[in-house]
Amino acid sequence: MAAARTVACIGECMIEMTLPDAQGAGARVGFAGDTFNAAVYLKRAAQDLRVRYVTALGTDAASDRMIETFAAEGLDVALIERRADRLPGCYAIVLDGGGERRFLYWRDASAARTLFDPQVTVTFDALDGCDLVYLSGITVAILAPAVRERLVNWLAGFRARGGQVAFDSNYRPALWPDRATSQRAIAALWSVCDVGLPSLDDEMALFGDTDADAVLARLRASGVATGALKRGAAGPLAIGDAPAQAFPPAAKVVDTTAAGDSFNGAYLAALLRGEPQAACLRAGHGMACRVIGHPGAILPKSMF
């Protein structure tokens, strides 16, 4: 794959609250969201890339602080819509003893749900200067159906003009009105995708595939040329040709938040450097193992 100079990561960043444990410890407040998390790890792993975060926020103090956080991570913030009538979404994390998490969301009035609406100033055309666009199933789930359809059409044209699309289906049933709607929307995105970064569990739950081989066959039939099928502790499988390899498990699991997102960021960084598929898979898996060994979605910069 030719090296990309500018990557646009499209989606929603929210206020993240980690609730205290039974002893009252561990409470935290930060900012996170699947495409934002991936953008951070992509930029940290490839400082030479221009990584643009594309979202919509309010004009409130929390939104201001978010944008400051984006900029502090080296992300380009020029394509952030500001809406005086909206606020950022918010969610809370509840962790069990094994580091698995449950989420509680407050996002119905999130500014990000207005992304690319006709009344906004940041349009699809603003992305034309980018080499690669990265988005997720959560990105498309929060968009209005008409905007979602326009997005797929624009991505098809973007690819025809030489752009590349990376996509993680990141299936969250609660964000969709029904399974059939989500199947149609996600299938449409796979049809305009160059780099696939799905998780096995998500694809099996959404499309009813029986195993990893069935998922890989369907993705390849959709035209996805390369990427990784993430399988948690078992390690990723290549979409496309790559030698079989084993992946070491994480040394410890504290919090699995952003495991897939950090994988995506590190994988894309290696891919855009022109590294072979096997090295891209190792980079993604290694980053995910680091992230789940610590609380929260974003590792402190001091750890890099």
Q: What's the burial of 54, exposed, middle or buried (CB within 10 Å: 0-12/13-18/19+)?
A: buried
Q: What are phi and psi of 213, to 5 degrees?
A: -60, -40
Paired tokens of 48:
């030479």
Paired tokens of 90:
């918010």
Query: DSSP readout, 109-162?
Result: TBGGGGTT-TT-S--GGGGTT-SEEEEEHHHHHHS-HHHHHHHHHHHHHHHHTT
* Residue 261 known to be catalytic: yes
Round to whole Å and give the CA distance between 130 and 5.
Answer: 8
Query: Among residues 34, 76, 255, 261, which one is catalytic?
Result: 261
Q: Are 18 and 288 in contact (CB under 8 A)?
A: no
Provide the annotated active-site residues. Answer: 261
